[in-house]
């Protein structure tokens, strides 16, 4: 199988994996941006640490690298527009991605959503550069929890929700 076909099949296969939707926020001084992610991984409970992967060509990577911190916002079903903004839909970039939600800045400069199911402020603990991605381990420094709303999910290129049983 040639590489192009393998890449297409890999993308199609990965679309079968349903995921919760998070927004990764990045800010350094007056510069703020971010991205939409469907995979955030817990890597340690003591101390609490999370793992994210950011494409090195994204606008977020140099901001995270300079700031040494980032936010993870686990979106609820009513925040689909936020996920779309942070994915760049409609050409949104930088600070423009923060429209249509209720954001606040932690004392150490991390932007978190007041409406997210859970929001984490993280300090960059370790970075591995692998192919086109920066694999980032973040030590959790703050947690906000907003239980109740249904989570925003992503599967086969579409947003939806998981309602449980």
Tell me the domain boundaries of the chain. Answer: 19-156
pLDDT in tens, 44-86: 999 999 999 999 999 999 999 999 999 999 999 999 999 999 9
Residue 145: both structure tokens together: 């929890």
Residue 69: both structure tokens together: 């911190």
Return the bridge partners of 137, or none. Answer: 51, 126
pTM for the whole structure: 0.94
pLDDT in tens, 107-161: 999 999 999 999 999 999 999 999 999 999 999 999 999 988 899 999 998 999 8
CATH superfamily of 19-156: Electron Transport, Fmn-binding Protein; Chain A (2.30.110.10)
Around Cβ 94, how many Cβ atoms within 10 Å?
Answer: 14
Euclidean distance between CA atoms 136 and 145, whole angstroms = 23
Continuous segment of H or E residues that includes residue 24:
strand 22-28
């Amino acid at each position: 199988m040639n590489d192009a076909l393998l890449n297409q099949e890999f993308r199609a296969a990965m679309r079968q994996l349903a995921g919760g939707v998070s927004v990764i926020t990045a800010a350094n001084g007056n510069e703020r941006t971010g991205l939409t992610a469907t995979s955030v991984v817990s890597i340690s409970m003591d101390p609490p640490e999370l793992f994210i992967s950011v494409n090195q060509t994204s606008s977020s990577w140099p901001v995270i690298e300079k700031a040494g911190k980032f936010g993870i916002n686990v979106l609820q079903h009513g925040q689909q527009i936020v996920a779309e903004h942070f994915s760049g839909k409609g050409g949104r970039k930088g600070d423009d991605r923060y429209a249509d939600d209720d954001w606040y800045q932690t004392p150490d400069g991390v932007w978190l959503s007041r409406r997210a199911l859970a929001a984490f402020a993280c300090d960059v603990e370790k970075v591995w550069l692998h192919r086109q991605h920066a694999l980032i381990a973040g030590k959790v420094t703050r947690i906000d929890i907003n239980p109740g709303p249904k989570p925003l999910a992503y599967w086969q290129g579409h947003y939806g929700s998981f309602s449980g049983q």
